[in-house]
């Protein structure tokens, strides 16, 4: 529901992108999916006075606080707390000069350098930033810093129109999850295990608040914790597991769309 121009932000972003993405050869964009969990239905509006012109605004009923997910695999390269027009936003670099941008968020659940996959939750729908007049997701697909016409599943969205879209993001269970270590009491560390249970050997520790990428999940031994007890364990690297009971993922138990570990 953003209706006022945001040209200043666009100029700033373009300038920053020019510095960050020097003369990278354009590679084919990834297959972008709707930036919402599998199966969700959203209205996507494009309009001739939108800035940048090729952006889209997503809405659905009672969407304040709904999950926003990554459109495609990539690496988070910008997490802005208070841009004048975009408000809180996240940008994901998909390589080859291809980036996606998610604006007006009420919260960001990733940080710069974090690897994300299809369906990874990156934040929550909100209404932050000067140009937002109500909760919605402002979304852009960019090539070398310039917003280009948006495609989902290889099909360009309508310009200019309001179309209903259904997400196919991570519907095949190939997504990764994201979260952070949440300890009680605050400030304590967690022991990373070499397998899905506290009976496995230690693989080091992680500080409370550490952001983690969840490559897959599996049922293991029951663990106590901030959200426990739970038998769900999250694989956060090769031979590195943490209990879901101490991982804030935004979900209780298994995360929709995230792979089950073999």
Residues that bind Zn ion (CB under 5 A): 2, 57, 138
**Separation of alpha carbons 206 and 214, rounded Å:** 14
| Cis peptide leading into residue 229 (ω within 30°) | yes
For residue 186, the minimal CB distance to Zn ion (Å) is 37
* Phi, psi angles (nearest 5°) of residue 112: -60, 135
* Residue number, 140 or 244, with CB nearest to Zn ion: 140
Identify which of residues 6 and 121 has a Cβ nearer to Zn ion in the complex.
6
Judged by beta carbon, residue 126 or residue 220, the one nearer Zn ion is 126
For the bound state, the minimum distance from the C-beta of residue 38 to Zn ion, rounded and expressed in Å, comes to: 24
- Residue closer to Zn ion by CB (options 57, 63) is 57
- Beta pairing class for 67-69 and 87-93: unpaired
Phi and psi at residue 80, to the nearest 5°: -100, 135
Minimum separation from the CB atom of position 137 to Zn ion (A): 8
Q: Give the residue nearest to Zn ion (CB).
A: 138
Distance CA 54, CA 19 (A): 22
CA 207 from chain centre, in angstroms, equals: 22
Sheet holding 67-69, edge to edge: 67-69, 121-124, 107-108
| Beta carbon of residue 237, minimum distance to Zn ion (angstroms, whole number) | 36
Between 149 and 260, name the residue whose CB sits nearer to Zn ion: 149
Closest CB 183 distance from Zn ion, rounded Å: 37
């Amino acid at each position: 529901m953003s209706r006022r121009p945001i040209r200043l932000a666009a100029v700033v972003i373009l300038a920053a992108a020019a510095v960050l993405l020097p003369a990278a050869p354009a590679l084919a964009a990834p297959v972008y999916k709707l930036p919402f969990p599998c199966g969700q239905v959203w209205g996507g509006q494009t309009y001739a006075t939108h800035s940048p012109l090729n952006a889209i605004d997503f809405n659905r009923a009672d969407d304040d606080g709904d999950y926003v997910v990554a459109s495609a695999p990539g690496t988070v390269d910008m997490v802005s707390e208070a841009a004048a027009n975009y408000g809180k936003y996240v940008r994901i670099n998909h390589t080859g000069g291809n980036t996606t941008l998610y604006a007006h968020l009420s919260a960001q659940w990733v940080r710069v350098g974090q690897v994300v996959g299809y369906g990874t939750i990156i934040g929550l729908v909100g209404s932050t930033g000067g140009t937002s007049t109500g909760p919605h997701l402002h979304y852009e697909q960019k090539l070398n810093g310039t917003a280009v016409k948006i495609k989902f599943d290889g099909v360009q969205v309508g310009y200019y129109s309001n179309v209903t879209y259904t997400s196919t993001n991570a519907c095949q269970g190939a997504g990764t999850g994201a979260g952070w270590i949440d300890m009680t009491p605050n400030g304590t560390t967690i022991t990373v295990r070499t397998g899905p249970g506290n009976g496995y050997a230690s693989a080091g520790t992680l500080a409370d608040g550490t952001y983690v990428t969840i490559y897959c999940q599996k049922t293991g031994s029951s663990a106590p914790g901030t959200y426990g007890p739970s038998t769900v364990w999250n694989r956060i690297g090769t031979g590195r597991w943490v209990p879901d009971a101490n991982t804030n993922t935004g979900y209780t138990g298994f995360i929709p769309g995230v792979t089950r570990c073999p």
